[in-house]
Structure 1
Amino acid sequence: MKIIKLSVVRPIAMGMVILLILILGGVSVKNMTVDLFPELTFPIAAVTATYEGAGPQEIENLLAKPLENAVGTIPNVESVTSFSRNGGLLILVSFNWGTDMDFAALKMREKIDAAREFLPKQAPAPLVMRFDPSDLPILQLAVTAENEKFSTLKRIVEEDIKPRLDGIDDVASVSIEGGADHEIQVNLDPEKLASYGLTTQQLQQIIESENINLPAGNIRDQNQNLPIRVTGQFESIDDVASLPIPTNSGVLLLKNIADIQETDEETTQLSYLNGKDAIGISILKQSGSNTMEVAKKIEKKLDETNKLLPDNVKIDVIFDQSRFINQSISAVSSNMLVGSGLAAGILYLFLRNIRSTLIISFAIPLSIVTTFVFMYFSGQTLNLLTLGGLALGIGMMVDNAIVILENIYRSQQLGMSLKEAAIKGTKEVGTAIIASTLTTVIVFLPIVFVEGLAAQLFKPLAFVVSFSLLASLFTALIIVPLLSSLFLKVQEKKETSGTIFETIVRRYKALLVTVLNHPKKTIMIVVSVLLLSLTGIPFIGTEFLPAQDQGFVSITAKLPEGSSLDATYKKTEEINNEIKGIKEVDLLYVKVGGAANFSFGAGSQTNQANYSILLKPAGERSRSDLEVAEEIRKKLKNIPNIEATVSASNSGFSTSPISLSITGPDLKVLEQIANETVALISKIDGVREPKSNYETENPEIVVDIDREKAAQYGIGSAQVTSSINDATKGVVASRLARNGEELDIRLLVEGRFTSSISSLQNLLIKSPTGATVPLQAVADISRGQGPSQIVRTNRLREITVQADILNRDLGTVTEEIDEALKENISLPNNRYKITFGGQNEQMNDAFYKLSLALALAVVLVYMVMAGQFESFLYPFIIMFSVPLTIIGVVLGLLITGEPLGVGSLVGLLILTGIVVNNAIVLIDYLQQLKQEGYELKEAILIAGPTRLRPILMTTLTTILGLIPLTLGFGEGTEVQQPMAIVIVFGLSLATLITLIFIPAVYYLVERRRQEKRLIEET
């Protein structure tokens, strides 16, 4: 303990050390990244592939199966799931946690390159990408303009807003959704074209070849070498209209053959903000960058941009992740300040000395600043969980300082000088607080070896709590003795003893006498209470992570498959009317059509509308986002012909609470089982919106080519496909550059030729012989139905049934669903299975791993204490305080109605480390008294009352420091609240019981040892 003496003797040097820590802390906080959650790395990679015109079954056979076989051979693959849709494929490859994803992605590319020969030649090369949560937008904007065309508004966004946002540092990408581009449409009459001996392909080639500027060599003229450039590029729509076209009737201008106009392109996506036409903007930040800083830069740039835009253009923020981060971090920070104030208040009540209170109050910010230094150099970020770790550590930070200060205070009361009391008082308890700190820190070691989402979330919290405790140990051993030797002024002992505390000590001593007279009865009573508390466990529910109110609700509304964009838009007007009356809604942004959730080249879903609803701040509304979502859910039930999914409190990294995977070979059988499952679980209390991801009855037109007839005309399948595609979708022949913008020149067949099956049947196809043949001459055209999506998991077809939960815990609902499935669903044979996934799977995995970590933590705590006491017996006595925490934990969870979740288990892990601290302080002093020659019972009756004050002080400061988190004050505290509840209730009751239980156990064990020693001596 030489360093303690040095710190007391050399205050100027220690003052310089404190100043250096404060400077480093300030620099660390300024340079640390601020985010909502720690940087997460998911072991998931995706493969995307497209094949224009292919249906789900063709995509499954031609793309999904060969690519699944290829990626399935990569090491560490946990599961392979494919989604086959019209024209596109998405394969999600999940790897074991801990896999090097850079190497895994490289192996995937190698395997897919090798599988290219098994894929259709017409299909583009598949793409491989890693799943990164940072790819989710941090900001979503909506741009509206009064009395402006959609195309004009989009041009403003593309030319005036997007380039400015793209130029911001740390912005990864800016994407635009909604609106329509301007284009030049050349509307063709196939019959008229046929009369002139022309085809769409010929017109395309003529327009493409004429709209060019090309170099044509060089010429020497008067000693100059001059390049020759042939200019033929279109400069206006008149140039397009006046283009000469050779026909069998002579050369005609294009405007004499086709109807040419400049207009908006036909769009498959519309977007609106509060009923007005809007363009959406999504902004992604670069991985590792500071969300708060990026958001500030974007806000500043938007303010500058607004001044340059026309007055009728308005930019609204739909979603701002930094707003929730700021509110959450502010709430946690204010809880830390309140907790610190409550802890300081407890110190003053016990010590009745303002100087001692100020010394401890200074120890808190110094420990926090030191923790920030540790966090910065270990690469941690400031986020909800690391700040939550600090909030959890606030009360524990002062524990060491309290024990040392109280002992210094007591030593001064016994007549020692300031410096002598500081050195001796610290030495007496220094060993005990080092041991108690190590027992708390060591419980986090097993988390380092835990893998999975829960570990990624809570490892930073574990690091921060450990850092805060190590910082508090440094402060307690070095700074507190220094400040005590300089500033602590002790009053006479009779003046400092408050009557309330004297009464508590006197009654505790009397209780201790009774306990020592009846130690076995005491132990039996405590054990009985423990067993009684275990009966409450079945009444505690379970969950993965608590819901977080982010003030944001999303809706996905689906019409029957095949519904047009116009039909979907009309239905959104009905939805808007239902939502309009909800007072908590601030902004309502809707996207009609688009690629929706299947965004990897699988075509648009014109039958779907996606809502982003921004609610008013939490302080301005009386209901949570989940309650608002439930009201919206009820209102949407009144609207016919839509399937609506409403979600809120989505953290972004966990799946649906209920997710049932149904696998088997036959889609029809899977569909039947899925329908039965949906009907069954919808009857279970708390289950909301059960739905299957199997989409059937997708209307389609089947063109069945008669190869023999087609061959007679020299027409092949590819030509038929190309002709139909050009007629229905149009073909871009070239682009017109004008005034800095480029317009597509699109050739379109007039709508009357593709408006129905009968008109499509008369579509003319030109044969190689020059004759034109109607489509119905070479093919049969009919209506059909088929699946719009086929899902396969580990090469088995799969249908997933998902559902949300309201006002019930995940574990209980899962048990009821499991029981209902066993009783009511009979599977045809062993080839069909129903398994639980989603949050239930994540929860079970996290519970298993954290339970192992908890067991290992108990062993490590025992080993640390065994090394400290150089005995296996005394640590074993101290460890009896650990199971006593169950009494408080069960009681706390039952009173608050909080389910047992990952946060609760982490709280239990922390509790394992801190609950033994009081017993360590008590047993350590008992050992000192025994070495001084005190008799067993006398030593206990002295040690108990003497250590009562520091034990109560450390316990109350820890508890009161966590009270704001326990009550859930502020936004974003939902994740830390279960941890705080477990620690507060567990530590409260465990401390009270420890004060009588540990002395009773110690007394029995020591008395038995003494009796055994006497027998051996005699």
Structure 2
Amino acid sequence: MNIAHWASAHRRSILFLFSILVIAGMLSIYKIPEGMFPNISFPRISVAVETGDQPAEQMVIDVTRKLEQALRPIPGVQSIRSTTSRGSAETSINFKWGQDMQQVLLQVESAVNQALPSLPAGTTFTVRRMDPTVFPVIGYSLTSDKLTQIQTHDIANQELIPLLSSIDGVAKVKVMGGDTLEYRIDVDPSKLAAYGLAFTDVVQALSATNVLQAVGRIEDHYKLYLTLSDTRLQDLQSIENTVLKSGNNGFIRLADIADIHKDVKPAWLKTSADGKRATFLLVYQQPKSNAVKISHEMEQRLTDFKTKLPASLSISKWYDQSELVVSSSNSVVDSILIGVVLAALILLIFLRNIKITLIALLMVPSALAITALLLYLLGASFNIMTLGGMAAAVGLIIDDGIVMIEHLVRRIREKNSNKVPLDFRLREAAIEFTKPLAGSSAATIIIFIPLAFLSGVTGAFFQALSLTMASALLASFFLAWLAVPLLAEYLLKEKDANEKDTGDRFKNVQEFYRNLMAKLLDKPMWLLVGLIPIMLLGGYSYKQVGSGFMPHMDEGGFILDFVQKPGTSITEGARVVKQIETIIVNNPAVQTYSSRLGGQLGGGITESNQGDMFIKLKPFPRPTIDQVMSEIRNEINARVPGVEIETA
């Protein structure tokens, strides 16, 4: 018994199995994470160090070089690159592709901790892996006409971070911008000298007074009490009453030699949204999490929590990566629907049978559902590469179904074929077409397999595409090989087999094609003469076509980086940024924007003369993103001197 007869004997079980796989695939669609890019672990670790206001030259000696020496012995290190500025340094360590980056992360943290005692006192550091999740997926701005920047910063830090950090898939929520309250102490040098005190006495007195520490235990009435000494400075009066010196003549308070008042902590970062001072909330996702679900859950929580916030506080979203993911998903759905409709029209025109058309059309959603199931089992996600692969596979899936259906119909409609039972004719036709179908599918799959073995960043991205295409083609092959003939046995009857073909309707086309091929085969050199210019033209065109790592997309927004002259103060920089903001606001295609001076959306060391803006465009219809970027870039170059900009 061959495979066709075995499949026919067990057709109910086979179709039931395919039905289960399709249903499981449809359910898995809601379980697969959605994100902008594939889950890629780049072989790079970043170490950021902060030491206060130490000069850059001293930072290189005391921090950067010592840090590099501590990191170099880690196994697998290929290169180390550092950037140093006043009070901060950032070191990037590149490793070999394929290393376990989670283990490497622990090794880097251990090496930095071992080097920490040799670094200046008060040094702090952060270690992070460089992957797509190091960039925020959602950005909110907090603005108010009545609240101060101190109040908006406190609301973001004390209320919104705990609220949003507990959402499943959120790695962290970071506050950027705003002001922090502090108490400013202006010491009078003459009064200090008159009392015989030094500035260090003031520092020591404040440090010794502002402490919280355990002082011991007390047992009383069969109970144990843990005691604490809390002398922390809570308000302005407690700071003023800090004792600097005491003796027989009384004591000297801080208020006797200094002026103390509330102030704002000096900040080298200014943030704004739509021309207003703003505090930003940046949301970072965990690896393999679902950006779309995070966005929906975050919107729901903020909506429910708004009643507990001041009425004058406005929370606006200026960046949401999930919008592009949703747009890509909708594009895939559109391409599937268009492909199905066109395939249905073609099949109806050539085969003139609704049941035959239905069999072929069932191939597309079934194959894509099984593909989604395979992606779920393999731990993949929906992103621009996997969704693009599914969209590209639609045509190949339809092709497999059409060629199998066409062969089955052609065989059962042949002359004298009605003498043989219909189910036998279908089985024989399926057996005949097994080798061509298998060869065609295998050849196509083999084309995509090498993409999975590419190295570097290119390989990391194209592995997702290769995996998706291979999964879709495998699902398509088994559906066309087994499900289509079995469905034909169920749905097709003798009257379908006895219907006339459409050959007469295309007799003129067939006759023209027959005459053309006869002439070309009679004189094949003419065909070669015609192909050579086409090949040469193709080679020339290949050299003229531009290239890039990622396809160009209109994401509905772009980043504008700007750099002013070195040494520009934060105040002067803010004045220049206002000029740039005026140009952006007046562009009719701009919906909203956010601005950072002295900081960047992606983090990293940034000087006070640098910054960036994220500009979100209005929905279509509007000019393309390239046109908007060109307009804004040209206008800034013409109207704002002394600033270099770059858009991406």
- TM above 0.5, one fold? yes
Which stretch shifts more, 309-318 or 559-568?
559-568
Contact 2:579 2:640 in 1 (8 A): no
The residue aligned with 2:365 is 365
The residue aligned with 1:612 is 614
Correspondences of 1:547-946 after superposition (within 5 Å): 547-594=552-599, 599=604, 605-617=607-619, 619-621=620-622, 623-648=623-648
C-alpha displacement of 1:319: 0.3
1:610 is matched by which residue type in structure 2?
D
Cα gap change, 1:144 to 1:378, in 2 (>3 Å): same
2:539 is matched by which residue type in structure 1?
L
Correspondences of 1:234-383 after superposition (within 5 Å): 234-246=233-245, 250-383=250-383
Cα gap change, 1:337 to 1:264, in 2 (>3 Å): same
In the alignment, which of 463, 487, 502 is matched to residue 467 of structure 2? Answer: 463
CA distance in 1, matches of 2:272, 2:107: 43
C-alpha displacement of 1:76: 4.4
Aligned-partner SS, 1:558: strand
Query: Identity over aligned residues, as a percent?
Result: 26
The residue aligned with 2:89 is 89
Contact 1:154 1:179 in 2 (8 A): yes
The residue aligned with 1:193 is 192
C-alpha displacement of 1:640: 4.6
Which stretch shifts more, 588-597 or 278-287?
588-597
In the alignment, which of 392, 408, 428 is matched to residue 424 of structure 1? Answer: 428
Cα gap change, 1:152 to 1:458, in 2 (>3 Å): same
The residue aligned with 1:908 is none
Correspondences of 1:379-528 after superposition (within 5 Å): 379-414=379-414, 415-416=417-418, 417-489=421-493, 495-528=500-533
CA distance in 1, matches of 2:490, 2:440: 27
1:540 is matched by which residue type in structure 2?
V
After superposition, give the CA deviation of every residue in 1:477-527 in whole Å (9 maximum; x if it has no partner): 111111212222555778422445222222222223223322344344434
Cα gap change, 1:563 to 1:250, in 2 (>3 Å): farther
Contact 2:452 2:467 in 1 (8 A): no
C-alpha displacement of 1:137: 0.7
Correspondences of 1:924-1003 after superposition (within 5 Å): none
The residue aligned with 1:765 is none
The residue aligned with 2:130 is 131
CA distance in 2, matches of 1:221, 1:433: 88
CA distance in 2, matches of 1:35, 1:457: 13
C-alpha displacement of 1:139: 0.4
C-alpha displacement of 1:77: 3.9
Contact 2:205 2:242 in 1 (8 A): no
C-alpha displacement of 1:322: 0.7
C-alpha displacement of 1:304: 0.9
Contact 2:328 2:387 in 1 (8 A): no
CA distance in 2, matches of 1:223, 1:360: 83
After superposition, give the CA deviation of every residue in 1:252-286 in whole Å (9 maximum; x if it has no partner): 33323211222333332222222222110001111
CA distance in 2, matches of 1:367, 1:596: 40
Contact 1:557 1:642 in 2 (8 A): no
Aligned-partner SS, 1:31: coil
Which stretch shifts more, 230-239 or 399-408?
230-239
CA distance in 2, matches of 1:225, 1:374: 60
Contact 1:560 1:641 in 2 (8 A): no
Cα gap change, 1:3 to 1:231, in 2 (>3 Å): closer
1:198 is matched by which residue type in structure 2?
L
The residue aligned with 2:174 is 175
CA distance in 2, matches of 1:328, 1:429: 36
Cα gap change, 1:400 to 1:239, in 2 (>3 Å): closer
CA distance in 2, matches of 1:197, 1:507: 112
The residue aligned with 2:551 is 546
Contact 2:33 2:381 in 1 (8 A): yes
C-alpha displacement of 1:469: 1.3
CA distance in 2, matches of 1:213, 1:507: 96
Contact 2:393 2:472 in 1 (8 A): yes
Uncovered stretches (5+) of structure 2, i.e. residues with no partner? none
C-alpha displacement of 1:89: 2.3
C-alpha displacement of 1:313: 0.9
CA distance in 1, matches of 2:157, 2:504: 75
Matched, 1:14 2:19: no
Contact 1:34 1:290 in 2 (8 A): yes
CA distance in 2, matches of 1:556, 1:591: 10
Contact 1:8 1:482 in 2 (8 A): yes
The residue aligned with 2:163 is 164
After superposition, give the CA deviation of every residue in 1:848-899 in whole Å (9 maximum; x if it has no partner): xxxxxxxxxxxxxxxxxxxxxxxxxxxxxxxxxxxxxxxxxxxxxxxxxxxx
Cα gap change, 1:208 to 1:54, in 2 (>3 Å): closer
C-alpha displacement of 1:359: 1.1
Which stretch shifts more, 295-304 or 349-358?
349-358
CA distance in 1, matches of 2:268, 2:632: 26
CA distance in 2, matches of 1:598, 1:540: 34
Number of residue equivalences:
642
CA distance in 1, matches of 2:602, 2:12: 63
Aligned-partner SS, 2:29: helix
2:84 is matched by which residue type in structure 1?
S
Contact 2:268 2:570 in 1 (8 A): yes
Aligned-partner SS, 1:381: coil
Correspondences of 1:67-146 after superposition (within 5 Å): 67-68=67-68, 71-72=71-72, 76-105=76-105, 108=108, 122=121, 124=123, 128-146=127-145
CA distance in 2, matches of 1:559, 1:580: 21
**Structure number with larger C-alpha Rg:** 1
Aligned-partner SS, 2:178: coil
Contact 1:141 1:282 in 2 (8 A): yes
CA distance in 2, matches of 1:92, 1:462: 30
The residue aligned with 1:537 is 542
Matched, 1:210 2:209: yes
Aligned-partner SS, 1:314: strand
Cα gap change, 1:160 to 1:53, in 2 (>3 Å): closer
Cα gap change, 1:402 to 1:218, in 2 (>3 Å): closer
CA distance in 1, matches of 2:426, 2:594: 65
CA distance in 1, matches of 2:286, 2:339: 35
CA distance in 2, matches of 1:212, 1:397: 71
Which stretch shifts more, 238-247 or 442-451?
238-247
Cα gap change, 1:359 to 1:239, in 2 (>3 Å): same
Aligned-partner SS, 2:506: helix
Contact 2:139 2:283 in 1 (8 A): yes
CA distance in 2, matches of 1:224, 1:360: 81
1:518 is matched by which residue type in structure 2?
K
Which stretch shifts more, 317-326 or 94-103?
94-103
Aligned-partner SS, 1:186: strand
CA distance in 1, matches of 2:475, 2:5: 19
CA distance in 2, matches of 1:154, 1:114: 35
Cα gap change, 1:183 to 1:335, in 2 (>3 Å): same
Which stretch shifts more, 540-549 or 436-445?
540-549
CA distance in 2, matches of 1:93, 1:222: 60
The residue aligned with 2:35 is 35
Q: CA RMSD in A?
A: 3.0
1:429 is matched by which residue type in structure 2?
F
Matched, 1:57 2:54: no
